[in-house]
Each structure stands twice: as C-alpha cells, then as structure tokens.
A = this chain, B = another copy of it.
Amino acid sequence: MLDYAALAALSEIVRRGSFEAAAAALGVTPSAISQRIKGLEERLGQVLIHRGPPATGTGTGLRLVQHLDQVRLLEQSLGSGLNPETGPASLRLAVNADSLATWFPPVMTALPVHFDLVIDDQDHARDWLRQGQVSAAISSDADPVPGCDATPLGAMRYQALATPEFIARHFTHGVTETALKAAPAITFNVRDALQSRWAQQVTGRRLHLTGHMVPASEPFARAVELGLGWGMVPDSMSQRARDAGRLRPLIADRALDVPLYWHVQRAMAPALAPLTAAIRKRAAAELRP
C-alpha cells in the first residue's frame, strides 16, 4: 500500500502552495512534512513537488493527490458506520467556462464534497482525465478517454450577437465575408473557435477574424453588450439583453448548438452517482436535447 499520511501531506502542499501552510493545516512541524515527502519521493523514485515558491505538484504528484481524493471519496461513500470522520472529501472536476457561468453551479449541492473546480478553457480536459488529474469533466468532447465513460448531456445553444448599433454600423449590407472580416469579433481565448465556426457555416469559408480576447464568460457577454464586437453568447446568458433589445442576432435562426458530455473515471462512477444524477437532471432542464 501507499503511505497515505505522506499522500495527505502531499495533497495539503499542492492545495496550499507551501510546506509551512501544509504543516500548519495538518498540525505537524514543517520538518515532519518534509520527511514524509522525501520518503515518498525516494520510495517512488520520482520528484513529486516542485519546491517553488509556490510549491506545485509535478505530473506524478498531481496524479497522487487525485488518487488520495478518490480514495477519500470512496471511503466517504462507505456510509457513516464505516468511514472515519475526516470531513468532506475533495473532488476535482474540469468544467467548461460557459457551463460554470450558467447551468452548472446548482448541481454542486448534490454531493457533500469540497469541489475543486478547474476551468477547461483550452481543451485540456482530455489530458487531465487521462493523467488522472481530475475525476470527471464536462466538455464538448464526445470521445471518452480510456478508463472513462462519457454521457451526452444535451447541447448549449449559442447565437452570434451584437448591439443594434454595431449591426447597423458593420453589417448594413448583410453578414457577408467582407463584413465579417472587418467587424471586430470577441473571442474567449486563442482556442475559442466558436466565432470562426459560425462564420464558416454562414459564408461557407474559413475566415480569419480579428478583434478582442476576453477570457471570462460574463465579461465576454458584457463586452458584446458594450458594442466592442460581435460574439457567440449562450442563449441562457443573453436572454434578458435580447428581450430588452440590447443585443440582437446577426442573423435570425442561425444558432450553433454545442453538445456537452459528462466524462467520469470509471472507478469513481459509483461514488459520483448522486452528482451524475443531478447533472443529468439539470442538463435535461437547461440544455437542448
């Protein structure tokens, strides 16, 4: 068996960023923490912590932290007679930014764990799942990673939106290739291809858009409302602005549906069953079938 006291030390260091903070959190001395980590590293023949500051986990270190979380979660699901009273387990999940900004938060009440959310804004969810750095993920990737199952959740509907003034200024002669190339688009980050995909569907060509990058969901929508550019905004986030006429679609009835999937490490599926049920229920209500 692994040395779980050492894994607990490793986990606190990675979560708190220093040996000192981990020691204080566990109520032991920093030198006791150092020894546990050193012992674990020698036994495994691998470095587990980049000493920093801040101290961060190596790939193997992060994998072991995740393993500890999973064991704790499995212990917790043994039921109250068997599991030691150590407080809620941690659960590390990758969630895409727009889900986190819209339908996801309420499902966090379905499982008594401490959620450690990471935003998958660069298609890293696959790697994280494969390397075991997250227990589950919500992503637009349909293919399950080996060792994981993927459940379809439905689709988020996006529309290409802008203010009426922006549309009047940039798209007087319709949403043409020339107009799309000249009008500033708002993108989330360098990996966000939604705007280009929509432009390609409309014009039949891959266009090279220019504009602003705003890497947060609500500020992205606000930048569109401020008339800084056009952008793909989820319907659930733009409802009020559309109803009030502050935002309009560049083209009516040209939505883009992005299907989402719930990926779960197979070994974790039983412990996560209540969360999976809550996610499916909420997705059925909030996403398009």
Binding site for B on A (CB under 8 A): 14-17, 21, 24-25, 54, 87-88, 97, 100-101, 104-106, 108-109, 114-119, 184, 190-191, 206, 208, 210-219, 222-223, 226-228
- The number of times this chain is found in the oligomer is 2
A217, B216: Cβ atoms under 8 Å?
Answer: yes
| Contact residues in B for A115 (Cβ distance below 8 Å) | 212-214, 228
A108 touches B25 (CB 8 A): no
Q: Which residues of B contact A87 (CB under 8 A)?
A: 210
Choose among B106, B184, B191 the residue that contacts A226 (Cβ–Cβ < 8 A): B106
User: Residue A212 contacts which of B101, B108, B214 (CB distance < 8 angstroms)?
Assistant: B108
Q: Which of B21, B88, B117, B213 contacts A208 (CB 8 A)?
A: B21
Shortest CB-to-CB span from A109 to chain B, Å, is: 6
Contact at A212–B24, with CB atoms within 8 Å? no
Chain B residues near A217 (CB-CB < 8 A): 216, 218
Residues from chain B with a CB closer than 8 A to the CB of A17 are: 190-191
Given contacts A97-B216, A108-B212, 7 further A-B contacts (CB under 8 A): A101-B216, A105-B214, A108-B223, A114-B184, A115-B213, A116-B212, A216-B216
Given contacts A24-B206, A109-B227, contact A101 B219 (CB under 8 A): yes
Shortest Cβ distance from A88 into chain B, in angstroms? 8
B191 A54 Cβ-Cβ under 8 A:
yes
A-B contact pairs, 27 of them (CB 8 A): A14-B190, A15-B190, A16-B190, A54-B190, A54-B191, A87-B210, A88-B184, A88-B210, A97-B216, A100-B214, A100-B216, A100-B219, A101-B218, A104-B219, A105-B214, A105-B223, A105-B226, A114-B184, A114-B210, A114-B211, A115-B214, A115-B228, A117-B212, A117-B214, A117-B215, A119-B215, A119-B216
A144 to chain B, nearest CB (A): 22
Q: How far is the CB of A218 from chain B (nearest CB, A)?
A: 5
**CB of A122, distance to nearest CB on chain B (Å):** 9
